């Protein structure tokens, strides 16, 4: 950047692909370094606590204003700012609008953009399409868990919710665990299942067996790694969350949980190893949403916080994956250990992977330069 001139590198979705946003191994490595940085505390997110997921605009069920949107499934706008230190050393924000009805218009449920900013001046460096960026970083964080916590020689991968996130997660896990050869899929609708199967058949030929499951039990039983990428609307009863019975779970199984899933209290309290991407995120959610937080934020780490509130669990039972990566905590401690890994998703991930893609685009001469000004009129 030169001063006072400010140029912005604009990257559309095709530019992002050319710059390598879909490099699942590279993204996982980036997320691994990020988690180590989070454990060291070299980051900031929103709010006074520096750990807020973001600032969300939601809408009322009814409004006297004719142009104001009303409440609906996933209908919201959200800004997710962050600064990441370490190797990233970048500030930025993800901004998105979301509405389930978009699908009827041939659009994704959420439409996302990411802005990267100079940490000193605040000047914009890059404006980039965020849908692929967000999807690949969301799969990359579970990917780090699989890389370090999966059982040895895992063969069977079960996924619940075969949408975009789990489809990319399958590709990520397959790249990290070459022994995987069987894929089990539990979905709600045939269309999403077919899209997932088509993508995986092309991208991951190592899966010799692909099984579409009729029940959650069928998907969980005998699976070595299980990923939930299911969503629930805020306010839906916990009783309606997908519930995994302990008797279904194979010894040594790893659950990656960026989506909604519930487990029996006894498993959480006494038997499973509990891992999160960043416990401070869940503490921030517990501050921002009333108890029981798991009723509103369906990510399993929020249930851990509720159980601490109830005196059923102590905080020292929960381990940050970053602390494991930095050698402060043990990883998998036995072949039979069941691990529940909660993934909340954070804007630091968008900034970290966005910085890498931005650097790649600049090296390769990809994108469109937009001039903000040659010299500011007001300063």
Q: What is the mean pLDDT of each run of 10 residues along the chain (379 residues)?
A: 85 98 98 98 96 94 96 92 97 96 92 97 97 97 98 98 96 98 95 95 96 98 97 82 98 98 98 98 94 95 98 98 98 98 97 98 98 91
CA–CA gap between residue 81 and residue 45 (Å, rounded): 6
Question: Can you give the residue ranges of every domain in the chain?
Answer: 6-134+348-373, 140-347
pLDDT at site 235: 65
pLDDT at site 74: 84
The fold of the 6-134+348-373 domain, in CATH, is: ornithine cyclodeaminase, domain 1 (3.30.1780)
CB atoms within 10 A of CB 44: 17
**Longest CA–CA separation in the chain, Å:** 68
Q: Tell me the sheet residues that pair with 239.
A: none
Cut 0.75: pTM above it: yes
Helix and strand numbers (H, E) in the chain are 11, 18
Residue 228 Rama label (left phi>0; alpha psi -120 to 50; beta): beta
CATH no., domain 140-347: 3.40.50.720
DSSP string, 251-295: TT-EEEESS--EE-HHIIIII-EEEES-HHHHHHHHHHSPSSGGG
pLDDT at site 73: 85
């Amino acid at each position: 950047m030169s001063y006072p001139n400010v140029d912005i590198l604009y990257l559309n979705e095709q530019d992002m692909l050319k710059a390598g946003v879909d490099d699942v191994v590279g993204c996982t490595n980036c997320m691994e370094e990020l988690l180590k940085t989070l454990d060291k505390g070299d980051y900031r997110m929103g709010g006074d606590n520096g750990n807020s997921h973001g600032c969300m605009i939601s809408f009322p069920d009814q409004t006297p204003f004719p142009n104001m949107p009303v409440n609906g499934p996933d209908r919201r706008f959200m800004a997710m700012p962050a600064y990441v230190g370490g190797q990233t050393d970048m500030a930025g924000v993800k901004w998105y609008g979301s509405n389930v009805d978009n699908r009827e218009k041939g659009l994704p449920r959420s439409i996302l953009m990411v802005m990267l900013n100079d940490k000193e001046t605040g000047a914009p460096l890059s404006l980039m399409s965020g849908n692929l960026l967000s999807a690949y970083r969301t799969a990359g964080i579970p990917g780090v868990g699989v890389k370090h916590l999966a059982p040895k020689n895992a063969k069977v991968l079960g996924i619940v919710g075969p949408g975009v996130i789990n489809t990319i997660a399958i590709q990520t896990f397959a790249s990290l665990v070459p022994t995987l050869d069987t894929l089990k899929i539990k979905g709600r609708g045939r269309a999403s299942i077919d899209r997932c199967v088509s993508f995986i058949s092309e991208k991951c030929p190592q899966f010799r067996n692909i099984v579409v499951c009729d029940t959650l039990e069928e998907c969980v039983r005998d699976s070595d790694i299980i990923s939930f990428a299911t969503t629930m609307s805020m306010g839906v009863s916990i009783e309606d969350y997908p519930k995994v019975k302990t008797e279904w779970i194979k010894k040594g199984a790893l659950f990656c949980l960026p989506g909604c899933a519930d487990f029996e209290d006894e498993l959480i309290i006494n038997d499973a190893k509990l891992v999160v991407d960043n416990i401070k995120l869940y503490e921030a959610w517990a501050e921002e949403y009333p108890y029981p937080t798991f009723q509103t934020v369906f990510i399993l780490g929020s249930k851990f916080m509720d159980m601490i509130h109830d005196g059923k669990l102590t905080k020292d039972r929960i381990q940050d994956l970053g602390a494991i990566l930095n050698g402060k905590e043990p990883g998998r401690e036995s072949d039979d250990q069941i691990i529940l890994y909660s993934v909340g998703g954070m804007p630091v991930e968008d900034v970290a992977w966005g910085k890498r893609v931005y650097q790649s685009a600049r090296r390769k001469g990809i994108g469109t330069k937009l001039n903000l000004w040659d010299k500011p009129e007001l300063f």
